[in-house]
């Protein structure tokens, strides 16, 4: 009996101890949960019943220098789903897919995800959102977002750039200034019950977004339109691989306009081939500048007093450097010339002499001074640095080539900035695209001032070069750039394209003209660059100089600078015979004619032609029939496929004077093949014009560059 009681007491004590231990452990666990896990569990519970809906910040607006809106943001609806609230996923998926033009299986997959929030479609059109709202589908919600809008479409597309679906800047200014433009996103916090239903009486918190900053660019919308117009003309006339026009204020480095072809509409950038939007040729394209680079050879020589301005130069048509003969672009050379005439005639041997007199070390000092071989620092993504031969490796032969713009590669923006330094008195400025930044209420955030990089040449040297370049327009290769009523200066350039594996590619050229005006107080520097123009004309004086003239004429007038009546007219002093002023002719009606007949009609009126599209029958023509134009005008022929007689023979057309492309297009329309030899214009063909041959016959055609006397204003 006694032992039983003892056992019972022990059991009671053990039970009490176990109970006390359990209570202690529970207290410890409770304390751990309360004091150590409490904050974490509170947040988890809050996250379980509280849901965040993002509220995108409105992206800042981009304006031109005068406050004209170039880029803005418009409000649109984005559609999302709360899967836990979807009552009938299959039926809902069918209805949503029909309205949003989506795959029903994909929508069903989204609606059945074990997530609290899924996007269905971002930034839908107003009418689409309205139609979907009218269905009142449980679990389908809308949130207001903004969509980037470019009201001017292709205007300055490569400068402005574009954004992605989340309004992140992907190209151009949109990318470079993404942080300023983006703003700070907001959010809406909504409370839900355990089964995912929104609690009507619960407190909803809204954290408003902060809009992005607004940018005011240095671009002038009107000047940009001048540039875009000329680029379109260049494309219609020459179908180049690339075309670039830049207008800069030499006093500040501000870019007033920058345009490229090919181009694209940033509203629909994904609809264009990647080549149209991937890179900005104005800051990326490396090319040998040719004679435009002689400006800097001239600057170095005058600044270093390496040339006697009074001496005469003799050009026999070439100059020997090391073991090479460097040819002058003019067959037979220019003979005896003054220093000024060497500049006016863009004489290669003369400039080689000048460059060699400067010397390698001094020449490189000015190359670096003008910014070649390094990026300009313009605030755009993807800028190239150009290509220079390392100074330690440079020989006299390299120096001779660089003196005339060969064996060196520059970008269009580099060349423009360097010429601006000559125009403003010798100071290199960093190209600038943004003038100021403001917040959404119009308060100034920061002002961007012109940035001086360095002084390169003295004001005296700059003034002397300005006058020499003015003489190029009045008396030399730049006559076609002359602007009535204004003093303008500039330099032509024509260079062969360098192949990917080195060496020059036959028949492919880069035509350019760079200049500024008015000479007495330069307000605008303009570069026109045309890469691989088609149609047989490729000299900078013929392709780029007229476009420069058109842009500068409009820019100077737009700036309110009065035209003068006391200025000298250009003097046409050439070694070849200047052609008479072309006569006016009426454009013949060639619509619905076979291409070969249309070509005969046009050539009978001394008119050129280019084709667009594919086919053998003319569908449309520009200018239209009956329009009065100058002889030599290029008529654009839009082609369509027409009926071609089967079997039999065809008459071989006269191909004389046509380019390879023109001859190939014409022969193809007749079911004949082209066997080209050489480059330039057609001078001889294996089958005489008018002879009948079988379809599919190959016609061997010899092409040769135009003779020196055939094209006024020609230079190397």
**Is residue 239 domain-shared with residue 210, that is, in the same domain?**
no
**Is residue 260 domain-shared with residue 387, that is, in the same domain?**
yes
pLDDT tens per residue, range 671-697: 788 887 766 677 888 988 878 888 888
Q: Residue 161: which of 146, 145, 179, 176 has the closest Cα?
A: 176
pTM: 0.71
> Does residue 376 contact residue 208 with C-beta atoms inside 8 Å?
no
78: its two tokens: 């984005």
**Is residue 392 domain-shared with residue 494, that is, in the same domain?**
yes
Report the sign of the C-alpha dihedral through residues 300, 302, 307, 313, in that order. positive
Does the pLDDT at position 162 exceed 80? yes
Q: Determine whether 523 is exposed, middle or buried from the number of CB atoms within 10 Å of its CB (0-12, 13-18, 19+).
A: middle
pLDDT exceeding 70 applies to what percent of the chain? 88
**Is residue 520 domain-shared with residue 589, that is, in the same domain?**
no
Region 196-215: mean pLDDT is: 69
- Reduce the DSSP state of residue 659 to 3 states and report it: strand
634: its two tokens: 């290029």
31: its two tokens: 């304390």
Residue for token pair 């955030």: 445
Ramachandran region of residue 400, left (φ > 0), alpha (ψ -120 to 50) or beta?
A: alpha
**In-domain check, residue 667:** yes
Does the pLDDT at position 500 exceed 90? no
**In-domain check, residue 183:** yes
Q: Which residues are catalytic?
A: 291
415: its two tokens: 């060349």
**In-domain check, residue 574:** no
**Is residue 208 domain-shared with residue 64, that is, in the same domain?**
yes
> At which of 217, 242, 259 does a domain end?
217
357: its two tokens: 């007199």
Region 497-512: mean pLDDT is: 79
- Given this model, what pLDDT does residue 674 score? 80
Does the pLDDT at position 60 exceed 80? yes
**Is residue 549 domain-shared with residue 628, that is, in the same domain?**
no
Q: Based on the structure, what is the number of domains in the chain?
A: 4
**In-domain check, residue 572:** no
- Given this model, what pLDDT does residue 173 score? 95
**In-domain check, residue 181:** yes
Distance between CA atoms of 373 and 664, rounded to whole angstroms? 40
Compute how many other C-beta atoms are within 10 angstroms of the C-beta atom of residue 258.
Answer: 29
Q: What is the DSSP letter of 200?
A: T
**Is residue 259 domain-shared with residue 378, that is, in the same domain?**
yes
Q: What is the CATH number of the domain that holds 210?
A: 3.90.1310.10
Distance between CA atoms of 611 and 599, rounded to whole angstroms? 11
Distance between CA atoms of 604 and 590, rounded to whole angstroms? 12
**Is residue 295 domain-shared with residue 434, that is, in the same domain?**
yes
**Is residue 200 domain-shared with residue 228, that is, in the same domain?**
no
CA-to-CA separations, 24 to 33, 37, 632, 666, in angstroms, rounded: 14, 18, 105, 101
Distance between CA atoms of 76 and 78, rounded to whole angstroms? 7
pLDDT tens per residue, range 379-423: 999 999 999 999 999 999 999 999 999 989 999 999 999 999 999
**Is residue 307 domain-shared with residue 433, that is, in the same domain?**
yes
Distance between CA atoms of 202 and 494, rounded to whole angstroms? 74
Q: What is the DSSP letter of 382?
A: T
**In-domain check, residue 579:** no
Does the pLDDT at position 2 exceed 70? no
Distance between CA atoms of 488 and 471, rounded to whole angstroms? 9
**In-domain check, residue 644:** yes
Does the pLDDT at position 117 exceed 80? no
Residue 409 structural domain: 221-267+287-438+451-558
**Is residue 328 domain-shared with residue 190, that is, in the same domain?**
no
Q: H-type helices in 495-630, by residue range?
A: 540-558, 595-604
**Is residue 11 domain-shared with residue 72, that is, in the same domain?**
no
Q: What is the CATH number of the domain that holds 362?
A: 3.40.710.10
**In-domain check, residue 353:** yes
């Amino acid at each position: 009996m006694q032992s039983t009681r003892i056992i019972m007491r022990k059991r009671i004590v053990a039970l009490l101890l176990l109970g006390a231990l359990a209570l202690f452990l529970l207290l410890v666990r409770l304390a751990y949960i309360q004091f150590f896990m409490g904050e974490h569990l509170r947040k988890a519970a809050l996250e379980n019943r509280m849901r965040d809906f993002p509220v995108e910040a409105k992206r800042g607006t981009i304006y031109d220098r005068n406050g004209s809106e170039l880029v803005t943001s418009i409000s649109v609806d984005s559609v999302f789903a709360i899967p836990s609230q979807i009552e009938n996923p299959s039926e809902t998926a069918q209805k949503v897919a029909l309205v949003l033009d989506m795959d029903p299986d994909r929508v069903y997959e989204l609606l059945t995800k074990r997530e609290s929030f899924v996007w269905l479609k971002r930034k839908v059109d107003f009418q689409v959102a309205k139609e979907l709202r009218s269905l009142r589908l449980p679990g389908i919600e809308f949130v207001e977002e903004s969509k980037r809008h470019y009201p001017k479409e292709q205007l300055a597309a490569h400068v402005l750039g574009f954004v992605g679906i989340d309004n992140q800047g992907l190209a151009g200014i949109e990318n470079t200034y993404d942080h300023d433009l983006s703003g700070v996103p907001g959010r809406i916090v909504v409370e839900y019950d355990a089964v995912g239903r929104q609690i009507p009486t619960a407190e909803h918190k809204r954290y408003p977004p902060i809009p992005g900053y607004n940018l005011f660019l240095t671009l002038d919308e009107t000047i940009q339109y001048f540039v875009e117009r000329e680029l379109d003309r260049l494309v219609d006339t020459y179908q180049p691989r690339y075309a670039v026009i830049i207008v800069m204020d030499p006093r500040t480095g501000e870019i007033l306009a920058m345009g490229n072809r090919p181009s694209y509409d940033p509203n629909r950038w994904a609809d264009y081939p990647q080549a149209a939007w991937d890179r900005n040729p104005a800051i990326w394209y490396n090319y040998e500048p040719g004679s435009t680079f002689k400006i800097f050879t001239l600057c170095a020589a005058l600044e270093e007093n390496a040339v006697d301005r009074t001496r005469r130069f003799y050009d026999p048509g070439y100059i020997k450097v090391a073991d090479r003969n460097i040819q002058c672009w003019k067959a037979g050379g220019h003979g005896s010339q003054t220093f000024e005439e060497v500049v006016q005639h863009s004489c290669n041997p003369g400039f080689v002499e000048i460059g060699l007199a400067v010397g390698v070390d001094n020449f490189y000092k000015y190359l670096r001074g003008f910014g070649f071989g390094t990026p300009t620092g313009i605030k755009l993504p993807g800028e190239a640095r150009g290509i220079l031969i390392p100074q330690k490796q440079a020989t006299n032969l390299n120096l001779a080539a660089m003196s005339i713009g060969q064996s060196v590669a520059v970008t269009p923006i580099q060349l423009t900035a360097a010429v601006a330094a000559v125009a403003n008195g010798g100071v290199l400025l960093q190209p600038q695209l943004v003038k100021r930044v403001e917040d959404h209420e119009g308060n100034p955030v920061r002002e961007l001032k012109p940035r001086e990089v360095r002084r390169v040449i003295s004001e005296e040297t700059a003034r002397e070069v300005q006058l020499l370049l003015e003489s190029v327009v009045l008396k030399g290769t730049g006559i076609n750039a002359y602007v009535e009523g204004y003093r303008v200066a500039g330099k032509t350039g024509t260079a062969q394209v360098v192949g990917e594996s080195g060496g020059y590619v036959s028949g492919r050229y880069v035509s350019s003209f760079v200049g500024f005006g008015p000479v007495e107080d330069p307000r605008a520097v303009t570069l026109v660059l045309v890469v691989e123009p088609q149609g047989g004309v490729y000299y900078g004086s013929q392709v780029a100089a007229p476009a420069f003239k058109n842009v500068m004429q409009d820019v100077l007038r737009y700036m309110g600078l009065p035209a003068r009546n006391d200025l000298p007219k250009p003097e046409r002093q050439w070694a070849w015979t200047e052609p008479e002023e072309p006569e006016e002719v009426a454009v013949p009606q060639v619509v619905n004619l076979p291409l070969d007949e249309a070509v005969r009609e046009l050539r009978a009126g001394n008119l050129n032609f280019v084709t667009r599209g594919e086919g053998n029958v003319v569908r449309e023509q520009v200018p239209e029939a009956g329009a009065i134009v100058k002889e030599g005008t290029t008529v654009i022929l839009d082609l369509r496929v027409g009926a071609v007689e089967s079997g039999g023979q065809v008459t071989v057309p006269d191909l004389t004077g046509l380019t390879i492309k023109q001859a190939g297009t014409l022969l193809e329309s007749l079911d004949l093949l082209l066997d080209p030899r050489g480059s330039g214009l057609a001078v001889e063909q294996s089958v005489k014009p008018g002879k009948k041959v079988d379809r599919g016959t190959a016609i061997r055609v010899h092409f040769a560059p135009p003779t020196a006397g055939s094209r006024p204003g020609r230079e190397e």
